[in-house]
């Protein structure tokens, strides 16, 4: 085990894969200067300019050069700088990358990783702060990952690079500087498997990416109020670990889903609907979703707070579903005796 920052873990994962497989290369703006967040520091020196390609500000071209190069036998890691700029490459991503395998009848694969640091970052306002994961989960052909820990930032980077699918890697940039344990060796995190971040019995709290630490803080506060919360860190959004979520909710019979993205038509809606479809009769409280209001991200700190999902807002959600707790406990105990 090694303690490292999330960003360093990310960097280690990419560097290890580039050493392992010479077909892996990366392209994006300012990579020769170490990347906009320093996450490529030292890469140019180690891997050279053919494998660490500093590009013009041409997001559509960054995406489609990655695709063309993937189709021609390499495994590119495509850097979008931040998720918001992916919107300049949306045709390339959605109409081309995601569909080549299918529309060409399986002749082609697009083994590429598309890196998208996402979410709020110190008053960056409407065009530099978005969480758009629900858009991309909606697109057949894409794998969508959203790690929250150092171990998973590294492990999912490695899994993404080894995958033959195009993989979107949403990176939690607001918590990149925090630290966590990273196992040594070839520590690949499996795609599609959730992590139980905290065990609990009364409420299942599902979250991902930068919202996971907030979920854990909310769970801690809830514990002091006598509410035992199980925190599920989803890690993969597509495929998502339905079994893990449903198994937890089947036990707790209450669910809260928390994400930084706008709540309306956010990915929490898919999870809530699935819980409804599979466990409707067993729930003792309606599922609660905690997400941002449907507004562009505002600039002024107080206004940004109105957008921001906080541990307090998540705690309020936990309290809401836990309200009928004693009654629920009663009928659960009567069911077992």
Partner 1 sequence: MSVAQTNTRVALGLELLRSMIRIRSFEEAARSVHAKGEIPGVLHLSIGQEAMPAGVCANLRLTDTIASTHRGHGHCIAKGAGPAAMMAELFGRLDGTCRGKGGSMHIADFAVGMLGANGVVGGGIGIAVGAAQAARLLGDGRVSACFFGDGAVNRGPFLEGLNWARIYDLPVLFVCEDNGFAAFTRPTETTGGPGAPARARSIGIPTFEVDGNDAMAVHDAAAEALEQCRRGKGPAFLYALTYRIDGHTIADRTPYRSAEEVQLRRADDPIERLRATLAEQGVEAAALMRIAVEAEHEMQAAIAFARASPIPGVHEALSDVQDAGAPS
Q: Which whole-number Å values give the CA distances from 55 to 33, 61, 170, 182, 270, in the listed order? A: 11, 9, 21, 31, 36
Residue 106 in contact with partner 1, rule: CB under 8 A: yes
Determine the length of the chain. 337
Residue 189 in contact with partner 1, rule: CB under 8 A: no
Neighbours of 25 (CB within 10 A): 20
Residue 55 in contact with partner 1, rule: CB under 8 A: yes
Residue 21 in contact with partner 1, rule: CB under 8 A: no
Of positions 4, 7, 8, 143, contacts partner 1 by CB under 8 A: 143
Of positions 32, 61, 196, 269, contacts partner 1 by CB under 8 A: 61
d(CA 239, CA 139): 12
**Contact letters for partner 1, residues 221-260 (x by CB under 8 A):** ---------------x-xx---------------------
Q: Closer to partner 1 by CB, 35 or 166: give it.
A: 166
Give min distance, CB of 50 to partner 1, in A: 5
- Catalytic-residue membership of 329: no
Of positions 1, 140, 185, 326, contacts partner 1 by CB under 8 A: 140
Give min distance, CB of 217 to partner 1, in A: 30
Q: Which stretch binds partner 1 (CB under 8 A): 104-112, 197-205, 227-235, 244-252?
A: 104-112
Residue 29 in contact with partner 1, rule: CB under 8 A: no
Binding site for partner 1 (CB under 8 A): 23, 25, 50-51, 53, 55-56, 58, 60-61, 63-74, 76, 91-92, 95-96, 100-108, 140-143, 163-166, 191-192, 236, 238-239
């Amino acid at each position: 085990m090694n303690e490292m920052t999330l960003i360093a873990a990310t960097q280690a994962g990419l560097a290890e894969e580039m050493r392992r497989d010479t077909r892996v290369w990366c392209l994006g703006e300012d990579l020769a200067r170490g990347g906009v967040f320093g996450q490529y520091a030292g890469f140019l020196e180690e891997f050279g300019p053919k494998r660490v390609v500093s590009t013009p500000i041409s997001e559509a071209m960054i995406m489609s050069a990655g695709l063309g190069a993937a189709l021609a036998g390499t495994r590119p890691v495509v850097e979008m700088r931040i998720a918001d700029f992916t919107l300049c490459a949306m045709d390339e991503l959605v109409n081309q990358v995601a569909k080549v395998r299918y529309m060409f009848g399986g002749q082609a694969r697009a083994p590429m990783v598309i890196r998208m640091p996402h979410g709020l970052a110190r008053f960056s306002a409407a065009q530099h702060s978005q969480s758009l994961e629900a858009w991309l989960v909606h697109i057949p052909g894409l794998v969508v990952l959203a790690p929250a820990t150092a171990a998973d930032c590294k492990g999912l980077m490695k899994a993404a690079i080894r995958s033959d699918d195009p993989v979107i890697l949403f990176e939690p940039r607001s918590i990149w500087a925090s630290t966590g344990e990273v196992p040594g060796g070839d520590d690949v995190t499996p795609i599609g498997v959730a992590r139980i971040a905290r065990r609990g019995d009364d409420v299942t709290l599902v979250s991902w990416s930068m919202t996971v630490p907030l979920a854990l803080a909310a769970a801690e506060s809830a514990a002091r109020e006598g509410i035992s919360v199980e925190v599920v860190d989803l890690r993969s959004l597509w495929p998502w670990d339905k079994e893990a979520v449903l198994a937890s909710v089947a036990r707790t019979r209450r669910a809260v889903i928390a994400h930084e993205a706008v709540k309306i038509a956010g990915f929490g809606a898919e999870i809530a609907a699935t819980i409804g479809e599979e466990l409707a009769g067993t729930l003792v409280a309606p599922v609660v979703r905690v997400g941002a209001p449907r507004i562009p991200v505002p600039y002024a700190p107080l206004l940004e707070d109105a957008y921001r999902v906080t541990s307090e807002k998540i705690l309020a959600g936990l309290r809401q579903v836990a309200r009928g707790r004693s009654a629920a406990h009663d009928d659960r105990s009567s069911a077992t005796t």
